[in-house]
Chains A and B, each alone.
Chain A
Amino acid sequence: MNILVCMKQILDPEVPARDFRIDPVRKEAERGSANLVANIFCENALETALQFRDRSGGGRITVLSYGPAGAEDLLRKALAMKADAAALVVEENAGNPDPLHVARVLAAAVRKLGAFDLILTGREAGDWGAGQTGGLLAEELGLPCISFADSFEAAGATLRVRRQTEAGWEIVEAETPVVVTITNDEHNVPRIPKVRDVMMAHRQPLTQWSVAELEVASQDYYEVVELRIPQKESRCELVSGDTLEQKVDALARKLVEVTAAI
């Protein structure tokens, strides 16, 4: 099975709220001293693909990203985790491109890379969280799409995908080729690459194109007209009392007061 995993580099979502700033003109987060990291769901997707390859004893995994030249770091890490090949579409200062543009760039790169049986994306990114890349990429490529999957297995040309729903899970069967978006569960926590593999990954070839080379026509999709940090007043009343018993008593009374009003 020939698998492509699309990955995105984002501003570290663990940056605490007190250090988080926005640039009101560019309508984006300021980088500040924050790290750039792989979007966790993209790493979950890669891990799911790696486990599938380990289980089935064959197959090839290519990782693809669209972003600034520095996004090479994320692909090198993916190679260290034992992806087989990597490709990067470079665009500096792309800012926050709309999801349709991202899907078109990825689709153009997919056509250059060749045929895949399975294309994985993360369910959404930890920065803008649009949650559209997988679905729009499927439409651009004329493929079916299954969302919120946490694992899959192959039976001939049929892929059996397990995906999460609000009530539990479903098994969806799909003919390949297909696009699948991946969410997290306890089984697809990304592995930590070995030091030796990290060093070797730096010597592996990495395909690069500029976004201009892909000749993707830009389209009006949506525009961010405002970005703001919501102001919240801190007015938490900590229950008082001399003993734990008194404090918990006060807490119980407050809870009863609130629930009685419902």
Chain B
Amino acid sequence: MSDIIIIVFGSTEDRSAQGLAGAAKGLAESVRVLVVDDYQPEGTLTALADASRGAKVILLANDTYSQEVAPRLAHRLGGTAVGDGTDVQWVDGKIRVTRQVYGGKAQAVIELRRNPAVVWLRARSFAPAAIGDVERIAPATNTRTRIVERTNVAQTEARLEDARVIVSGGRGIGGPEGFRDELEPLANLLGAQMAASRAACDAGWVPPTWQVGQTGKKVAPDLYLAIAITGASQHMAGISEAKTIAAINIDPDAPIFKHSRFGIVEDYRKVVPLLRRKLEELAK
């Protein structure tokens, strides 16, 4: 019996599930893997609490269900929860988690004082490890809440969190047309997925599922091309694990350039059509 549990919502083949396995491997030799079937807020929580009694550490990813379950699971088991961790380790017999705070302007190290330590992680930031045997968790009967409808509006099969290349637009795009006519063809050329800043999502130009940032998705692509995105710390908090950030922005003082490896100071409306042509030429 292992002291460490990882909880997976979805497939164990997902990069985030394997990142969880990688994070767990850094903490213990053997790990129990619980895979949740038919998630229901109350019923799954009850079943997970029963299945994970006695655990010292419980790791989850940072998807909707994980974030919903984690604090309540910690409470049921008399433990402590901490979320959105980018690092987790043992220090003197206690779990310490590193996470961003104040919209990414600062970083905190938090020591969890009670067992189990229930931690949800930016799972993609961790080196992946293979997942072996799993236990399947079905929800306990509970009629107090029930998911009656699930609507999937995601743009493609792949999750934004798992994208290798992301083309992202901000307030400066100016409307849905810019996303559709300029950014989308560019994304297709680069084999990229599309994303957006909160301002663009709040304006209704693109679906809220595209939102990257402190309150949106936390992504970790190899290339993040930020177009007409100022780079407020709240946005940067969602892309701090990106390997390379590149920027197209009309404002030379935009904070995005402080975080970018390369970029161009120009109106995206002038740059993007030309850039598409150049990329097509280079592809030949």
User: Which A residues lie at the B interface, using CB under 8 A?
Assistant: 11, 13-17, 20, 22, 27, 29, 41, 99-100, 123-124, 126-132, 135-136, 138-140, 144-148, 160, 163-175, 178, 183-186, 189, 220-230, 232, 234-239, 244-245, 247-249, 251-256, 258-259, 261-262
Contact = CB atoms under 8 A, between A and B. Distances in A.
Contacts of A224: 108-110
Contacts, number: 253
B262 A254 contact: yes
Interface string B222-264: 1101000000111000000000101110000001011111111
Given A135-B72, A135-B75, A251-B248, 18 more contacts: A128-B101, A132-B71, A132-B83, A145-B68, A148-B64, A163-B64, A165-B63, A166-B160, A167-B209, A172-B146, A220-B114, A221-B80, A224-B110, A226-B109, A236-B262, A247-B266, A253-B282, A258-B222
B15 interface: no
B110 to A, nearest CB: 5
Contacts of A185: 202, 208
B172 interface: no
Given A147-B67, A170-B150, A225-B96, A29 B274 contact: no
Given A135-B72, A228-B106, A146 B63 contact: no
Contact of B204 (A172, A186, A223, A252): A186
| 4 closest cross-chain pairs (CB), A and B | A252-B278, A135-B71, A168-B153, A171-B149
Given A172-B41, A220-B113, A244-B266, A29 B103 contact: no
A239 B151 contact: no
Interface of B: 41-42, 63-65, 67-68, 70-72, 75-76, 80-84, 96, 100-103, 105-114, 142-154, 159-161, 164-165, 190-191, 198, 202-204, 208-209, 214-215, 217, 222-223, 225, 232-234, 244, 246-248, 255, 257-266, 270-271, 274-275, 278-279, 282
